[in-house]
RNA sequence: GCACCGGUGGCGAAGUGGCAAACGCGCUGGUCUGCAAAACCAGUAUUCACGGGUUCAAAUCCCGUCCGGUGCUCCA
């Protein structure tokens, strides 16, 4: 089943197939490590994760490169303010970024590339552009890309640049450039700033050249897919295309995927609006990592997502339903035999699920057949019409679902535990939800003991004691479920 | 200002010409249970911002209006 994915460059759904017939080469713009990642960042990374997981589910090998921008103006400024070398300043944020990816079950790209490890290659690419007459040096020692050298400029963002020419609306005198639209390739070092000695002079790379260089270094001059947040379309990705294609004369990325923005309460998330959340903020409020993941991927990537706390509660409920069902499916017991109607339903569900994802990664649509099957299977179980022979096919649907959505298998406790350890280590315990502290104060073994004691009390029909234990556990966020096959419990 | 996107039930959201509109959450009632929880059943939009139009047929296409958002600058 071939994925048809919207291509910003062509403006239509295009099949996404590896150019070399082996592995899909994709480059995703990664983080600038000057702060903790917020949920808007992660919406983008999560949808890229959905993409790569779906490709692999359908048998397409993936070679993904992600950059880490570990040098830029903000980093240089903040590190200087902290009196640290930039590497010492960025290291903890880079580490936090990877911890956050783990919490959200975002797979690691095959290759991580740091900007500071590729300075010579960047300088070489700029020299190549200079030789082609597309880059020039200004008096202060900075280098710029000459947009006039690339007539196709604007083809990705579909901008008509004729209305943005130098003149009335842009004060050219503010820039030491030939044209106001020309962008920086290399920034000359200012006294005391972190810089590198290169044939171009002392300085540091611009942001755009970083991605062009590393993408081509690891994926070749032409490759399959370039992805990122919608805000990168212009100017970042437009500039990458201009630089790369001018240098090589070949098409850069064939396919461009852009994830639309996350809004919070209907507005763009920003620190000044007071609606800004990092992943850590949410974990420490007691929301599960899996619920955050599901909430951020359930709205397809080409629609803006309006994030609310209701959406997290919604996702928590949906995940509980799936997990409870999976536990019931695995534990049985079911009689020998086979229910042909259910078997057919399972096969159809799997087909519909994959078809929905193959249609431009329609995650919302893909959920529907899975939940439909859960209901049919539960109904069959209630009526004793579910047999041992049905288990594998139904389980296969859940496995397909989790291969992409990755929320049924429960890794939440670990993510929360780490967030708590981080809060403790960085003096943020006052922002932790009290329920979370309460839940963390009781171990699984202690819960098991209390549950056993409650079962004993129930057997003796001492319901007062049994209910008291249930209430005690509930206060720590533990929910108890009795069934004829025993008592299950879970953390809320 | 220019450009783009969107307005579907209590909430999120799919659906872009043809069965009175998926799925999830929530709520109400029922079954089950010592009581709960879980699960199941039933109910929860005759209708898709509004006004025109095209069509045998429109939530879906066209025109207009209103409302919301985003981009045009660092930004996922």
Q: Look at residue A30 in the predicted model and tell me its pLDDT.
A: 93
pLDDT < 70 regions, chain A: 160-176
Return the DSSP state at A256: E
Kindly list the distances between the CA atom of residue A190 and the CA atoms of A80, A168, A206, in Å, as whole numbers in the listed order: 13, 31, 14
Please give the distance of CA A14 from its chain centroid, rounded to a whole number. Answer: 22
A160 CA to B69 C1' in angstroms comes to: 23
Q: Nearest nucleotide to A382 by CA–C1' distance? A: B40
* Closest residue by C-alpha to C1' distance, nucleotide B31: A382
* Closest residue by C-alpha to C1' distance, nucleotide B24: A318
Please give the distance of CA A404 from its chain centroid, rounded to a whole number. Answer: 12
A282 contact partners, CB below 8 Å, separation of at least 6: A39, A292, A312
Q: Nearest nucleotide to A302 by CA–C1' distance? A: B5
Q: Look at residue A440 in the predicted model and tell me its pLDDT.
A: 82
Peptide bond preceding A449 in cis form (omega within 30 of 0): no
Strand blocks (E) in A16-120: 23-28, 61-68, 111-114
**Tens digits of residue pLDDT in A356-366:** 999 999 999 99
Q: Taking a C-beta distance cutoff of 8 angstroms, is the pair A43, A296 a contact?
A: yes
A323 CA to B38 C1' in angstroms comes to: 11
Q: Look at residue A12 in the predicted model and tell me its pLDDT.
A: 86
Domain-wise residue ranges, chain A: 4-259, 267-404, 442-491
A162 CA to B1 C1' in angstroms comes to: 16
- Per DSSP, the three-state class of A4 is strand
A362 CA to B17 C1' in angstroms comes to: 21
Q: Look at residue A161 in the predicted model and tell me its pLDDT.
A: 59
* Closest residue by C-alpha to C1' distance, nucleotide B2: A163
* Closest residue by C-alpha to C1' distance, nucleotide B22: A368
Q: Taking a C-beta distance cutoff of 8 angstroms, is the pair A293, A309 a contact?
A: no
State how far the Cα of A18 lies from the Cα of A52, in Å rounded to an integer: 13
For residue A170, what are the β-bridge partners? A167
Q: Nearest nucleotide to A324 by CA–C1' distance? A: B38
A441 CA to B32 C1' in angstroms comes to: 34
Q: Nearest nucleotide to A299 by CA–C1' distance? A: B13
Backbone angles phi, psi at A322, to 5 degrees: -65, -40
**Tens digits of residue pLDDT in A415-464:** 999 999 999 999 999 889 888 888 888 888 899 999 999 999 998 999 99
- ipTM for the assembly: 0.92
Q: Nearest nucleotide to A235 by CA–C1' distance? A: B73
Given this chain, do its domains A4-259 and A267-404 carry the same CATH topology?
Answer: no
Q: Which CATH number applies to A267-404: 3.30.980, 1.10.1060, 1.10.730, 3.30.70?
A: 1.10.730
A138 CA to B7 C1' in angstroms comes to: 50
A73 CA to B74 C1' in angstroms comes to: 9
* Residue owning tokens 């096969």: A347
Strand blocks (E) in A60-148: 61-68, 111-114, 135-137, 143-145
- For domain A4-259, give the fold: Rossmann fold (3.40.50)
A320 CA to B38 C1' in angstroms comes to: 10
Q: Nearest nucleotide to A30 by CA–C1' distance? A: B76
Q: Nearest nucleotide to A298 by CA–C1' distance? A: B13
Peptide bond preceding A333 in cis form (omega within 30 of 0): yes
A149 CA to B2 C1' in angstroms comes to: 26
Structure tokens at A203: 């300085």
Report chain B positions within 7 A of protein CB atoms: 5-6, 11-15, 22-26, 33-41, 68-76
For residue A261, what are the β-bridge partners? none
């Amino acid at each position: 089943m071939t994925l048809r994915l919207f291509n910003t460059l062509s403006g239509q759904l295009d099949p996404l197939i590896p150019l070399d017939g082996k592995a899909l080469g994709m480059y995703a713009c990664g983080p600038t490590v000057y702060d903790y990642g917020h949920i808007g960042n992660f919406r983008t990374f999560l949808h890229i994760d959905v993409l790569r997981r779906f490709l692999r589910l359908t048998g397409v090998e993936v070679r993904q490169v992600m950059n880490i921008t570990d040098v830029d103006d903000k980093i240089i400024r903040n590190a200087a303010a902290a009196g640290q070398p930039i590497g010492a300043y960025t290291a903890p944020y880079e580490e936090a970024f990877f911890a956050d990816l783990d919490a959200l079950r975002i797979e690691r790209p095959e290759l991580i590339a740091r900007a500071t490890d590729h300075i010579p290659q960047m300088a070489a690419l700029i020299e190549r552009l200079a030789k082609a007459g597309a880059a020039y040096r200004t008096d202060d020692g900075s280098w710029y890309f000459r947009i006039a050298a690339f007539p196709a400029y604007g083809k990705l963002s579909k901008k008509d640049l004729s209305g943005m020419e130098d003149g009335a609306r842009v004060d050219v005198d503010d820039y030491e450039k030939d044209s106001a639209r020309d962008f920086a390739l290399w920034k000359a070092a200012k006294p005391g700033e972190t810089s590198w000695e290169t044939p171009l002079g002392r300085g540091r790379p611009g942001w755009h050249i970083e991605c062009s260089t590393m993408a081509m270094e690891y994926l070749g001059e032409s490759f399959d897919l370039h992805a990122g947040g919608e805000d990168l379309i212009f100017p970042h990705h437009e500039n990458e295309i201009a630089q790369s294609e001018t240098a090589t004369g070949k098409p850069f990325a064939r396919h461009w995927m852009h994830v639309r923005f996350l809004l919070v309460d209907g507005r763009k998330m920003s620190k000044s609006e007071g609606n800004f959340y990092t992943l850590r903020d949410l974990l420490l409020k007691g929301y599960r990592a899996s619920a955050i993941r599901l909430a951020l991927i359930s709205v397809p990537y080409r629609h803006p997502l309006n994030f609310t706390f209701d959406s997290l509660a919604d996702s928590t409920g949906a995940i509980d339903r799936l997990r409870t069902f999976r536990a019931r499916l695995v534990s049985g017991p079911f009689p020998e035999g086979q229910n042909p109607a259910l078997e057919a339903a399972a096969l159809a569900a799997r087909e519909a699920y994959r078809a929905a994802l193959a249609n431009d990664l329609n995650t919302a649509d893909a959920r529907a057949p899975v939940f439909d099957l859960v209901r049919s299977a539960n109904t069959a179980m209630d009526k004793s019409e579910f047999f041992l022979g049905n288990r594998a096919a139904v389980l296969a649907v859940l496995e397909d679902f989790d291969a992409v959505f990755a929320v049924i298998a429960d890794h939440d406790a670990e993510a929360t535990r780490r967030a708590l350890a981080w809060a403790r280590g960085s003096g943020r315990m006052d922002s932790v939800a009290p329920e979370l502290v309460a839940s963390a104060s009781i171990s699984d073994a202690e819960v098991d003991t209390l549950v056993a004691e409650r079962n004993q009390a129930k057997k003796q029909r001492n319901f007062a004691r049994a209910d008291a234990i249930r209430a005690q556990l509930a206060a720590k966020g533990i929910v108890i479920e009795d069934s004829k096959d025993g008592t299950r419990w879970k953390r809320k």
